[in-house]
Structure 1
Amino acid sequence: MNTTYSNDAISSWTSDQLLNLGVPEQAATYINLLVLITATALVVYLVDFLARKIFVGTAHKFAAKSSTRLVEYMARNRVVVYLARIAPLVVVVQAIPIVFADFPTWVPALNKFTDIYLILLWMWVARAVLRTCKDFLKTTETFKEKPVDSFLQVITIFLYFIAGLLIFSTLTGKDAWTFITAMGAASAILMLIFKDTIMGFVASIQVSSNDMVRIGDWVTMDKYGADGAVTEINLTTVKVQNFDKTITTIPTYYLISDSFKNWRGMQASGGRRIKRSVYIKISSIRYLSAEEITKLSKIQLLKSYLEERQNEISRFNKENEIDKSLLINGRSLTNVGVFRKYIDAYIKQHPGTHKDMIMMVRQLEPTTTGMPIELYLFANSIVWVEYEGIMADIFDHLLAAVKYFDLEVFEMPAADDVRSLHFNMTGTPGVRYPMAETMQN
């Protein structure tokens, strides 16, 4: 009774004074309402200011003393600010019956608005806490490369759904289950509307559980023009920053439904594969004479191999009484075989090759463009620029070394080849074009 009496005294004090001064009753009532609203607004502003000062100041002190950055992330994501807003809201809730004592029909509607604001406020607090968790988890080794955004987005959507139910219940005065029952009838429509979200959520779970993609992975997806590092994985999309600094956005679901290449294994191994061929002109392949073998023995990388191999071949031919007046008889070395052994020795001593990974030089099936001698090995650097430099250095050397083995690299005829052929046949430099001469005549 005392509290009610004091509230009535506060709410009617201004109107009583105005009535004593002869102000009409209706005017005194509205002036009293305006004064009370103004006073409440000033009190709310003061409480909000003090609450933010106390909460934010305390948070900064904890952040300075804490060994983790969790409190710092809470302050950055405004968790403390949203919590501080509860204090002025309490003041407003307590003030409504006093301020609107002369307008009792307004009180229920205003109470509903404060209830809705409280629901939204708690929603903002929860969302800020989720953002804080995301920022904090991304600093840990366990979740640093995981698609945390996807899971938090699902939780946020669920929170929005709960908030919507509570607001609906507050406005209509009906139980939230009534709204849920009504939604059951429209579930098919909702499934259609949120199809991409649902598919993205399922894809995010599969991508995370199977460890298919992490933040920072180099992925290639030719279908969507993606070739670069993954910068973000969320509920519906995966963002890839290409090497030309453009951004490609790929639906998360397509990481499961389509194929893509993840270069993480290469990056983790410390070596990047080199798989390239030198195409030898088949007509330049032949047997080597003893004089040519002696000449090639001056090449340091081949000296021990040729001595050992030649002794083995000579012993075999002698034991089997092979007539070596023709090189085709018995066993003989070929220029392409010796060149292949030279490549093998060269890549094994090259400073840019990975010595702990496979190194192979093999002869592939001859084609219309010559016989491929394929190099299959790994560079000891995964840095793109360094890798290209290592590969270019190896093939620069090999293309220049081909001539020492009296071999030719196959290439399509060029204009110089045609002019040289014409000169050899006619003795006249240049190329003649009979059709052009006929047209001129």
Structure 2
Amino acid sequence: MEYIQDIAGAYPWLETLFWLIALFLAALVVNFVVKVALVRVLNRLISGAHFINGPEVVRSGVIARLANAAPALVISAGIMAVPGLPFAVAAVIRNVANAFIILVIAMAIAAALTLFEAIWRRRSGPAGRSIKGYVQVVTIVVYALATILMIAAIIDRSPLILLSGLGALTAVLILVFQDTLLSLVASVQISSTDMVKVGDWIEMPAMNADGDVVEIALHTVKVQNWDRTITTLPIRSLVTQPFKNWRGMQESGGRRIKRALNIDMSSIRYLTEEEQARLSRLSRLRGYLGDKSRELAEWNAALGAEAETPGNRRRMTNIGAFRAYVQAYLQAHDRIRQDMTLLVRQMPPGPEGLPLEIYCFTATIAWAEYEGIQSDIFDHLIAIAPEFGLALFQSPSGSDFGRLLAAGEASARREAFVPPSEGA
């Protein structure tokens, strides 16, 4: 024992080195005990606690991050007690250890916030309000405060001194974090007004976005388009640019059909009595034709002698009968919502004929079913229009011009043919 004391007296740096090694070994032992024993035991206990979402807490790594502070605490508490170590060196090591502890705590808080956001998203469901933007803002604040505290710990000064100097840097900070501040304001506006939620179908042609919102973050909104691509939008664009949110359609349970049949106006005419009799065999038109015939008969009878002039009389048209048929057909359709708007109307005529628009809502919002219902309706209407003597407008194609040209050439050949004289 005296020999060791003599050596320590002759070589004081050996004692300092010995206690430094002992301190760092103690830190390693504490690190091993905390991570291997304590953390594993806590993780096993917590993973079985389903009422606090134990498995998810373990996966978040909050406890593991906090465990990293244990060896730093040992070094911070024991470094000043090492004999022979210069005070300045011991102070630097202690301050660095304290800064590391602050960083570990900040990382644990950030992991806890991420865990909270994940639990909120799962419990609120895909249609719930997203808080990811708020969590990201709080995380930024936590790391900003941690940075100030770490700098104060390293230079061994009060953090209030650093905070007092931030006033002069306010303009610079606003310039640096301009995008973050604008995104935060936009996120608050979107959340408070319930403009967009995760799961909404939005359409923004200016950004080539048309699909479901899958994520709302502080700076961006991710939209999964129907072709399975991902469009990332700046969150500010949802406030500054127009977009369409289809949530109202999804919540109503009906999807709108708004499509027109272009009727060739040259095919519109009055119905003859024979045509009325033939169309009256259609069950959906029988009531309409009977009521309309009585109405027109009463009107024309009131004209007296003027009814002898055809232009004075009211007569039934094929376009009117067809419009009544379409209305009755839609009202009898079991896949069309009868409690929502249902119209069959004529739009202003144009170069492509007279548009007869169908405006109604299907009893489903599923895309494939909706398209199938819409196609079945127009398949039937296009096929039955000739029964009313109506022709649908279609721009001339190459084959149409080919037939016209062939007919013109045949006519020219007939005119050019000169039959032989009878006496020849």
Tell me, yes or no, if structure 1 residue 52 matches structure 2 residue 34.
no
Change (3 A) 1:22 1:248: closer
Change (3 A) 1:120 1:170: same
Shift of 1:356: 1.6
Q: Deviations over 1:48-87 (max 9, x none)?
A: 22221232233224x24x2x52x33322211222233444
Q: How does 1:42-81 map to 2 (within 5 A)?
A: 42-48=28-34, 49-61=36-48, 63-64=49-50, 66=51, 68-69=52-53, 71-81=54-64
For residue 101 of structure 1, the aligned residue among 54, 60, 83 is 83
Shift of 1:97: 3.7
For residue 204 of structure 1, the aligned residue among 187, 190, 209 is 187
Query: SS of the counterpart of 2:47?
Result: helix
Change (3 A) 1:309 1:144: closer
Identity value in percent: 35
Q: For the residues of structure 2 that align with 1:28 and 1:296, how far apart are their CA atoms? A: 115
Count matched residues: 411
Q: For the residues of structure 1 that align with 2:260 and 2:390, how far apart are their CA atoms? A: 15
Q: One-letter code of the match for 1:110? A: I
Q: One-letter code of the match for 1:54? A: V
Q: For the residues of structure 2 that align with 1:84 and 1:188, how far apart are their CA atoms? A: 38
Q: Deviations over 1:166-206 (max 9, x none)?
A: 11211223332332232222222221111110000000000
Q: Deviations over 1:401-422 (max 9, x none)?
A: 1100111111111223223334
User: What RMSD over aligned residues (CA atoms) do the two structures have, in Å?
Assistant: 2.5
| Corresponding position of 2:169 | 186
Shift of 1:146: 1.4
Cα pair 2:285 2:325 within 8 Å, conserved: yes
Cα pair 1:47 1:88 within 8 Å, conserved: no
Q: For the residues of structure 2 that align with 1:30 and 1:170, how far apart are their CA atoms? A: 25
Tell me, yes or no, if structure 1 residue 111 matches structure 2 residue 94.
yes
Query: SS of the counterpart of 1:374?
Result: strand
Q: For the residues of structure 2 that align with 1:27 and 1:188, how far apart are their CA atoms? A: 51
Shift of 1:17: 5.8
Query: SS of the counterpart of 1:186?
Result: helix
Q: Deviations over 1:378-416 (max 9, x none)?
A: 111111111111111111111111100111111111223
Shift of 1:377: 0.6
Q: For the residues of structure 1 that align with 2:150 and 2:8, how far apart are their CA atoms? A: 45
Shift of 1:265: 0.3
Shift of 1:30: 6.4
Change (3 A) 1:322 1:346: farther
Shift of 1:143: 9.2
**Which blocks of at least 5 consecutive residues in structure 1 are unaligned?**
1-12, 431-441
Change (3 A) 1:116 1:35: closer
Query: SS of the counterpart of 1:132?
Result: helix
Change (3 A) 1:250 1:35: closer
Q: One-letter code of the match for 1:272? A: R
**Which blocks of at least 5 consecutive residues in structure 2 are unaligned?**
414-424
Cα pair 1:335 1:405 within 8 Å, conserved: yes
Bigger mean CA deviation after superposition, 260-269 or 314-323? 314-323
Q: One-letter code of the match for 1:185? A: A
Shift of 1:152: 0.7
For residue 242 of structure 2, the aligned residue among 253, 259, 269 is 259
Q: For the residues of structure 1 that align with 2:361 and 2:126, how far apart are their CA atoms? A: 31
Cα pair 1:56 1:81 within 8 Å, conserved: no
Tell me, yes or no, if structure 1 residue 40 matches structure 2 residue 22.
no
Shift of 1:129: 1.5
Shift of 1:329: 3.1
Q: For the residues of structure 2 that align with 1:112 and 1:208, how far apart are their CA atoms? A: 42
Q: Deviations over 1:266-292 (max 9, x none)?
A: 011111111111011111111111111
| Corresponding position of 2:331 | 348
| Corresponding position of 1:8 | none
Query: SS of the counterpart of 2:123?
Result: coil
Bigger mean CA deviation after superposition, 296-305 or 335-344? 296-305
Cα pair 1:59 1:80 within 8 Å, conserved: no
Shift of 1:327: 4.6
Cα pair 2:136 2:218 within 8 Å, conserved: yes
| Corresponding position of 2:226 | 243
Q: One-letter code of the match for 1:147? A: S
Q: For the residues of structure 2 that align with 1:376 and 1:202, how far apart are their CA atoms? A: 40
| Corresponding position of 1:318 | 301
Shift of 1:40: 2.0
Q: How does 1:30-429 map to 2 (within 5 A)?
A: 32-33=18-19, 35-37=21-23, 39-48=25-34, 49-61=36-48, 63-64=49-50, 66=51, 68-69=52-53, 71-98=54-81, 100-105=82-87, 106-141=89-124, 145-321=128-304, 327-427=310-410
Q: One-letter code of the match for 1:396? A: D
TM-score by length of 1: 0.86
Q: One-letter code of the match for 2:192? A: S
Q: Deviations over 1:75-119 (max 9, x none)?
A: 221122223344444333343245x32314332111101210111
Q: One-letter code of the match for 1:427? A: A
Bigger mean CA deviation after superposition, 323-332 or 201-210? 323-332
| Corresponding position of 2:11 | 25
| Corresponding position of 2:418 | none
Query: SS of the counterpart of 1:286?
Result: coil
Change (3 A) 1:143 1:396: closer
Query: SS of the counterpart of 1:328?
Result: helix
Query: SS of the counterpart of 2:257?
Result: strand
